[in-house]
Amino acid sequence: MTASGAAAAKGEGDFAFVLLISCVATIGGFLFGFDSGVINGTVEGLQKAFNSDSVGTGFNVASMLLGCAVGAFTAGRLADILGRRNVLIVAAVFFIVSAWGSGVANGSLEFVIYRVLGGLAVGAASVLAPAYISEVAPARVRGRLATIQQIAIIAGLFFSFLSNYLLASAAGGSTQDFWFGFATWRWMFWMELVPASIFFFALFAIPESPRFLVLKGRKEQALAVLTRLVGPTAAAQKVAEIEASLAADHHRPRFSDLIDSSTKRVRTIVWVGIGLATFQQLVGINVIFYYGAVLWQAAGFTENDALLTNVLSGALSIGAVIVALLVIDKIGRKPMLIIGSVGMAVTLALAAYAFSTGELMENGNLRLDSDMGVLALVAANVYVVFFNFSWGPVMWVMLGEMFPNQIRGSGLAVAGLAQWGSNFMITWTFPMLLAAIGLAGAYGIYTFFAVVSVWFVIRMVRETKGLELEEMKG
């Protein structure tokens, strides 16, 4: 008898199976991170190849985020119609096409089209992977398994930074010709083809979400999946709970469910989701992820040292998320968000102060003395640690679990749109802020939002640790 069969015979779930399908789903998170981070090392190559100014460069970098916003907004509803796994399979195809096309593009318009296509995939994966994990994982370990998504995102960022650094080092720079006469920055995009292909084929090895199967009236299939996930006794009970939670509303999920029928206003839980999604971006984390090389070169680092600093940030991020994974189901989501907000506010303020002491050079870069350079570097990296211990993983965990079954798809759609819309604005405006008010001014703005996020969490966010999805209230 197999291990899974023995577990089923004892009335237990097959945790190894739960872990396997969670890991497959989080390959989407890895691609989310890789696709987001790979642009970091290609900015100079894009400027040279497409002859773009600061506004054009900002749009080329941020263009993916327009696709992310649309992908996140539509994925939740499409997943209610087509299934979580099926939408992820479509996203995998988009990842493959985008990775290839971004590398072969010969103009800004062509490049933007391929990046938007990749953005659709990133947006879909960003909301569906944690939602899928939340719908298959037992409540006692749901936070830890959903946090694997953030580890995958950071791992994707780390490996994109590492890949960019190794390629640029081997070629002598991101704009230099490399294998087969193609510029190095193009190979940076093509590296994504490997994990994207693995994701596509791996998705065929995992089942559809049991909650989606119940929603579509495929009770026997849902029962079979849940039996393997939680054991036969718990499976039958869980199917009954899911049916009851859906039957309470007497209709299929729809966007109008986001309106409270008694008050005729948007449900409070929806505003909390929008707030969580927006604040995660307003603290400026993706300035480091997308513009890390530009940021550190503006602070006086060489391109090679700037790319190496990105690798350091990625490694620290992975460590911080691993710590978050170990404690999220013990200390809870809300305390972690508060710790993160306070830590980010302090470290962002220190980085802004360090940048404010710099001398602006003729080439537009900032010259910091050695002490302030160290302070800026340490503060920025500690800030990354605080983010990846808290808002990085916890926001995605909460979005995947906080909405009641009836509005999960629609709630994720709206929150995902807010998240990626905010991401786009922060990413697009950074080059303009850099030119207008400098690094100190930009980081001062991000500090302000980190301070406000403390108030938001204390006042608005409810703890979800240990609750079953059927217990979530709107």
Using one digit for the tens of pLDDT, what is the confidence trace for 396-454? 788 877 887 667 777 877 888 888 788 878 877 777 777 777 778 888 999 999 999 99
Question: What does the pLDDT average to over 306-323?
Answer: 77
Of 26, 25, 23, 40, whose CA–CA distance to 285 is shortest? Answer: 40
At 242 the pLDDT is 74
Q: Residue 249: pLDDT above 60?
A: no
Radius of gyration of the chain (CA): 22
At 424 the pLDDT is 79
Question: What does the pLDDT average to over 173-180?
Answer: 73
At 93 the pLDDT is 94
Q: Residue 366: pLDDT above 70?
A: no
At 219 the pLDDT is 81
* Ranges 358-362, 393-397, 401-405: which has the least confidence: 358-362
- Angle 166-172-175 from CA coordinates, rounded to 5°: 95
pLDDT classification of 58: cutoffs 50, 70, 90: low
Q: Are 92 and 32 in contact (CB under 8 A)?
A: no
Q: Kindly list the distances between the CA atom of residue 332 and the CA atoms of 149, 266, 327, 329, 373, in Å, as whole numbers in the listed order.
A: 17, 26, 8, 6, 36
Cα separation, 431 vs 287, whole angstroms: 10
At 2 the pLDDT is 41
Backbone angles phi, psi at 80, to 5 degrees: -70, -20
Please state the length of the chain: 474
Cα separation, 125 vs 68, whole angstroms: 9
Contacts of 207 (CB under 8 A, 6+ apart): 21, 85, 225
Cα separation, 46 vs 197, whole angstroms: 25
Cα separation, 204 vs 318, whole angstroms: 28
Helix (H) or strand (E) holding 309: helix 303-331
Q: Are 114 and 123 in contact (CB under 8 A)?
A: no
Q: Kindly list the distances between the CA atom of residue 318 and the CA atoms of 76, 153, 312, in Å, as whole numbers in the listed order.
A: 28, 9, 10
At 11 the pLDDT is 46
Using one digit for the tens of pLDDT, what is the confidence trace for 24-50? 888 888 888 888 778 766 666 666 766
Using one digit for the tens of pLDDT, what is the confidence trace for 137-155? 776 776 677 677 777 887 8
At 3 the pLDDT is 42
At 92 the pLDDT is 92
Q: What is the DSSP letter of 175?
A: T
Q: Residue 392: pLDDT above 80?
A: yes
SS3 assignment for 207-267: CCCHHHHHHCCCHHHHHHHHHHHHCHHHHHHHHHHHHHHHHCCCCCCCHHHHEECCCCEEC
Please tell me the number of Cα atoms within 13 Å of 229 on its side-chain side: 32
pLDDT classification of 256: cutoffs 50, 70, 90: low
At 49 the pLDDT is 65
| Mean pLDDT over each residue of the chain, to the nearest integer | 78
Q: Are 242 and 211 in contact (CB under 8 A)?
A: yes
